[in-house]
A and B are shown apart, each in its own frame.
Chain A
Amino acid sequence: MRNFLVFSRSLILLLLIGLGIWHISAGGNEGFGIGIIAGASAAFIASMLKARKITRLQEQGMNPYDERHEYVNGKAAIVTIYIFSTVLALIVLIGSFLDPVPPAIDLYDALGLCLAGVLLLYTICYFVYSKRLG
């Protein structure tokens, strides 16, 4: 299982690095290409370090993804959905009153921001609930 994880993550890393290099060499946005390579490399290193820690704990008989994790995960997910949908609803409602003609925005930028917002919110909620449980 661990070998499969390392293999699949290495493959994704190589694909993303290849995509970044191809993007730069094809005359695309240099910052975007470098960002893909740097981001993929950082994510790969972080995931490998985390996988090593989890393997070490599992070898000792412990399970980091036990029922407490599921409990915190569930709480964090529900609060994230609640906050995110409330914020989006407020933006739509207030925005419709103040500026009925929607501004022209890049769809990919908007979706990227939403995704980053959800992930950040979830991470904060997970941390808060995990701390509360001691």
Chain B
Amino acid sequence: MENRLRELREKQGLTQEDLAAKVGVSRQTIISLEKGKYNPSILLAHQLAGIFGLLIEDVFIFEEEGK
């Protein structure tokens, strides 16, 4: 799943460590998310979207299979 995490994080002037600390995960998790290699739980996605004051679907771009 693609996402705008890196773009939004940089726009807010946050480092990966800052963002990790804000949502209580490891820096590796933020790295994996930004690379699109790991899909977060609904709870983490909600927390991340909340940090940027956006909805989950504004941060994480869901693509249906076959489209």
Please list the residues of chain A having a beta carbon within 8 angstroms of any beta carbon in chain B.
57, 60-64, 66-69, 71, 130, 132-134
Q: CB distance B29 to A134 under 8 Å?
A: no
Distance, CA A60 to CA B18, complexed state (A): 9
The tally of CB-CB contacts under 8 A between chains A and B is 48
Please list the residues of chain B having a beta carbon within 8 angstroms of any beta carbon in chain A.
17, 20-22, 24-29, 31-32, 35, 37-38, 40-41, 44
Distance, CA A130 to CA B28, complexed state (A): 9
Q: CB distance B38 to A62 under 8 Å?
A: no
Q: CB distance B44 to A67 under 8 Å?
A: yes
CB distance from A126 to the nearest CB of B (A): 12
Distance, CA A64 to CA B37, complexed state (A): 18
CB distance from B16 to the nearest CB of A (A): 10
* In the complex, chain A residues whose CB is within 8 Å of the CB of B37: 132-134
7 closest Cβ pairs, A-B complex: A61-B21, A66-B25, A68-B29, A133-B32, A134-B35, A134-B37, A133-B37
Q: CB distance A63 to B24 under 8 Å?
A: yes
- 6 examples of A-B residue contacts, CB within 8 angstroms: A62-B21, A62-B24, A62-B27, A67-B44, A133-B28, A134-B37
Distance, CA A132 to CA B37, complexed state (A): 8
Q: CB distance A134 to B31 under 8 Å?
A: yes
* In the complex, chain A residues whose CB is within 8 Å of the CB of B21: 60-62
Q: CB distance A67 to B24 under 8 Å?
A: no
Q: CB distance B17 to A67 under 8 Å?
A: no
Please give me the residue from chain A that is nearest to B29 by CB atom: A68
CB distance from A108 to the nearest CB of B (A): 38
Distance, CA A66 to CA B24, complexed state (A): 8
Which residue of A60, A63, A134 contacts B32 across the interface (Cβ within 8 Å)?
Answer: A134
16 A-B pairs besides A61-B21, A66-B25 with CB distance below 8 A are A60-B21, A61-B24, A62-B17, A62-B20, A62-B21, A62-B24, A62-B25, A64-B26, A67-B25, A67-B29, A67-B44, A68-B26, A133-B28, A133-B38, A134-B31, A134-B32
